[in-house]
Amino acid sequence: MRVCALIPAFNEAAHISDVVQGAAKHVQEVVLIDDGSCDGTAQIARAAGATCLRSNVNSGKASALRLGIAYAAEREFTHVLFFDGDGQHAAEDIPALVRAAGETGAALVIGTRSFDPGRMPRARYYSNTVGSKLASWLVGQEINDSQSGFRLVRLDALRQLKLRGRKYELEMEILIKLSRAGCSIVHVPVHTVYDDGQARSKMKPVRDTVRICLWSLAFRFLGV
């Protein structure tokens, strides 16, 4: 297995060096996709050892990830790891995802968070709960954390998908389309850092959850 970590980031200068260095311990290459940052995120990531791709405008998380996927697909990687740039994923959990992929051959390994309403920001708790219930219904199997940005995907399966998402709906798009293609999906429990999580997250829980739900229905029933 050769794993390329893809880290989409927008103005994450405060966290990105630690994120890059943590991921680099467990993968063959770390690629930072700078989504129009104006705070030196790309320069800091490059100094920390990442390959840096850059969009001059802020186009959204999915657009950044698709740029990273295209980069990895042209190189000799077997998997891509989606890893958020805001410091809310624990790099020490990466080997567990890689191990699960190797042992099961799953096309998608989702790093599943513990939904503890006492620790997770309330709006994010409800948006993730709603999203996961919708995803479970759409794909016909239990999905514990549909919106997790921490996941490992087999590149050969990903290459077969025509991806359309531009913002936060990409995780659901990949999940639904891989399931419809008959690919296997497994879950691995991971840690999540919620300290100051409300301030770090750029997701708008109500607006973006509605967008994700509408797009998910389109992915599943309209074949877009």
Rounded mean pLDDT of 213-224?
A: 85
Q: How far apart are CA 32 and CA 67, in angstroms?
A: 10
Residue 70: closest CA among 31, 121, 21: 31
Per-residue tokens: 18: 């630690």
Question: What is the tally of structural domains in the chain?
Answer: 1
> Which CATH number fits the domain that encloses residue 187?
3.90.550.10
**pLDDT (tens digit per residue) in 89-142:** 999 999 999 999 999 999 999 999 876 666 666 666 667 777 788 888 888 888
Q: How far apart are CA 139 and CA 147, in angstroms?
A: 14
- The residue segments making up the domain with residue 158 are 3-222
**pLDDT (tens digit per residue) in 65-103:** 999 999 999 999 999 999 999 998 999 999 999 999 999
Distance separating the N- and C-terminal Cα atoms of the chain: 31
List, as own/partner pairs, every contact residues 101-107 make where C-beta atoms lie below 8 angstroms and the sequence separation is at least 24, other chains included. Answer: 101/1, 101/152, 101/154, 102/1, 104/184, 104/186, 105/184, 106/154, 106/183, 106/184, 106/185, 106/186, 107/153, 107/154, 107/157, 107/158, 107/178, 107/183, 107/184, 107/185
Indicate the pTM of the whole model. Answer: 0.88
**pLDDT (tens digit per residue) in 26-72:** 999 999 999 999 999 999 999 999 999 999 999 999 999 999 999 99
The DSSP line for 210-222 is: HHHHHHHHIIIII
Residue with tokens 């296997």: 184
Residue 121: closest CA among 193, 61, 188, 207: 193
Q: Check residue 198 and give its pLDDT.
A: 42
Burial of 26-37, coded b for 16+ CB within 10 Å and e otherwise, reads bbebbbbbbbbb
Q: How far apart are CA 214 and CA 65, in angstroms?
A: 21
DSSP state of 203: -
